[in-house]
Amino acid sequence: MAKGHRSQIKRERNAQKDTRPSAKLSYARMSVTKACFVLDAIRGKDVETALAILAYNPRYASSVIEKLLKSAIANAENNNGLKAENLYIEECYANKGPTMKRIRPRAQGRAYRIEKRMSHITIVLNER
């Protein structure tokens, strides 16, 4: 158990907080696998290159991730005071979200399950 006054505990917890600019999208209606195909293409790239890759990628996930990346850039400029041309994608990952379960009727009274998967996508930027 932590020792000290409640305000001291909160101060210590906030001191360890990550200050890198980031953006997170929760409950995106796509599977983690499909999101990771696009995220792998932009990981480690600078922001301008990543936006260009996302603009010409035919996958559905690329439009969602492009919007998320623009949000992370805006967070970096407004909250952290960083220049957009110096930023690069340090981390980007997709975690598993909840799964919606649906039923598909099949022959002879059977029912097959359809799983509509969701994911939580996170993009973390940093300055070069």
pLDDT, position 1? 55
Q: Identify the band that residue 96 occupies on the pLDDT scale cut at 50, 70 and 90.
A: very high
Contact at 8 Å (CB) between 123 and 74?
A: no
Give phi and psi for 81, each to the nearest 5: 70, 35
d(CA 70, CA 67): 5
Query: What pLDDT, on the 0 to 100 scale, is given for residue 2?
Result: 59
Domain 21-127 top-level CATH class: alpha beta
Q: What gap in Å lies between CA 67 and CA 34, rounded to an integer?
A: 16
The residues, ordered by sequence, that sit 6+ positions from 105 with a Cβ below 8 Å of its Cβ are 111
For 48-92, the pLDDT digits (tens) are 999 999 999 999 999 999 999 999 999 999 998 899 999 999 999
Q: What's the mean per-residue pLDDT of the chain?
A: 92
Q: Can you give the pTM of this predicted structure? A: 0.84
3-state SS assignment for residue 121: strand
